[in-house]
């Protein structure tokens, strides 16, 4: 169960005040490199932004995550902000990472999307929980017990329902698999159903993914 409390407990965020350095270490643990950039300086970080055509995005956004491949995963944050602001922004990106909102070479930055709202709530909840545990230590014990029983333990248990149990849909010539049989992309085609493995497709239909989030 990928929710803020599970993340909070597994990363021991109840121990003392959150700092920029602590959040950076958490980001690193998930395989992401944190890069602080200054657009007025031409250095190695701006070269990385140029290489992946991210300069325009870097001018608009203050903090964002970008995955090139399994070995090149970055969280970019613009310099000049207070530590408090940086912590909030990094926790927001941690929410995207923990909930696996990203595919390779994809940016999530539209504030109207469900993914953005989830990341905002994720960051706010982590900060609130940290403050509660520092101000009211007695609440921490209850939180730990509740988390161990209902959250942390389920994360470690095998799921009773996996991809092999779920039915997906695709067409012979299509390059993606679909979550809904009535998706408009395959509505007038010969549709095949089965597991993801049987489909031979490695990507989900973006229209189906968006519909699933909204429903």
φ/ψ (deg, to 5) at 139: -75, -25
Residues 82 and 149 in one domain: yes
Residue tagged 């927001």 (tokens): 92
Q: Please give the residue that has the higher pLDDT: either 134 or 87.
A: 87
130-149 average pLDDT score: 67
Structure confidence at residue 140 (pLDDT): 60
Residue 215 in this model has a pLDDT that exceeds 80: no
Query: End-to-end alpha-carbon separation of the chain, Å?
Result: 19
Element (H, E) at 139: helix 137-147
Residue tagged 């597994």 (tokens): 10
Residues 64 and 151 in one domain: yes
Residue 93 in this model has a pLDDT that exceeds 80: yes
Residues 146 and 49 in one domain: yes
Residues 98 and 167 in one domain: no
Q: Number of structural domains, the chain?
A: 2
Nearest-angstrom CA–CA distance, 191 and 119? 35
145-174 average pLDDT score: 57
Residues 113 and 184 in one domain: no
Give the domain extent around 188. Answer: 163-214
Residue 147 in this model has a pLDDT that exceeds 70: no
Residues 36 and 105 in one domain: yes
How many of the other CB atoms lie within 10 Å of CB of 98? 20
Is residue 83 very low, low, confident or very high in pLDDT (cuts 50, 70, 90)? very high
Radius of gyration of the chain (CA): 20
Burial class (CB in 10 A: 0-12, 13-18, 19+), 116: middle
Nearest-angstrom CA–CA distance, 57 and 109? 9
Residue 13 in this model has a pLDDT that exceeds 50: yes
Residues 187 and 102 in one domain: no
Is residue 50 very low, low, confident or very high in pLDDT (cuts 50, 70, 90)? very high
Residues 84 and 105 in one domain: yes
Q: pTM for this one?
A: 0.63
Residues 167 and 139 in one domain: no
Residues 146 and 57 in one domain: yes
Residues 182 and 87 in one domain: no
Is residue 1 very low, low, confident or very high in pLDDT (cuts 50, 70, 90)? low
Residue tagged 């009773």 (tokens): 160
Residues 48 and 81 in one domain: yes
Structure confidence at residue 152 (pLDDT): 45
């Amino acid at each position: 169960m990928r929710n803020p409390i599970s993340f909070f407990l597994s990363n021991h965020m109840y121990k003392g005040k959150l700092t920029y350095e602590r959040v950076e270490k958490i980001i690193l643990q998930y395989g992401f490199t944190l890069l602080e950039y200054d657009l007025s300086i031409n250095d190695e970080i701006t070269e990385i932004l140029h290489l992946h055509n991210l300069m325009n995005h870097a001018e608009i956004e203050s903090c964002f995550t970008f995955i090139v491949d399994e070995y090149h995963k970055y969280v970019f944050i613009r310099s000049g902000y207070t530590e408090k602001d940086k912590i909030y922004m990094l926790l927001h990106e941690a929410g995207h990472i923990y909930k696996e909102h990203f595919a390779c070479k994809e940016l999530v930055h539209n504030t109207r999307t469900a993914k953005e709202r989830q990341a905002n709530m994720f960051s706010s909840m982590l900060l609130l929980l940290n403050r509660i545990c520092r101000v009211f230590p007695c609440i921490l014990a209850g939180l730990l017990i509740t988390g161990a029983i209902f959250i942390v333990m389920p994360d470690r248990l095998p799921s009773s329902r996996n991809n092999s149990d779920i039915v997906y849909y695709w067409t012979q010539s299509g390059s993606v698999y679909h979550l809904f049989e009535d998706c408009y992309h395959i509505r007038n085609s010969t549709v095949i159903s089965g597991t993801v493995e049987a489909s031979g497709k490695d990507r989900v239909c973006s229209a189906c993914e968006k519909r699933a989030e909204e429903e």
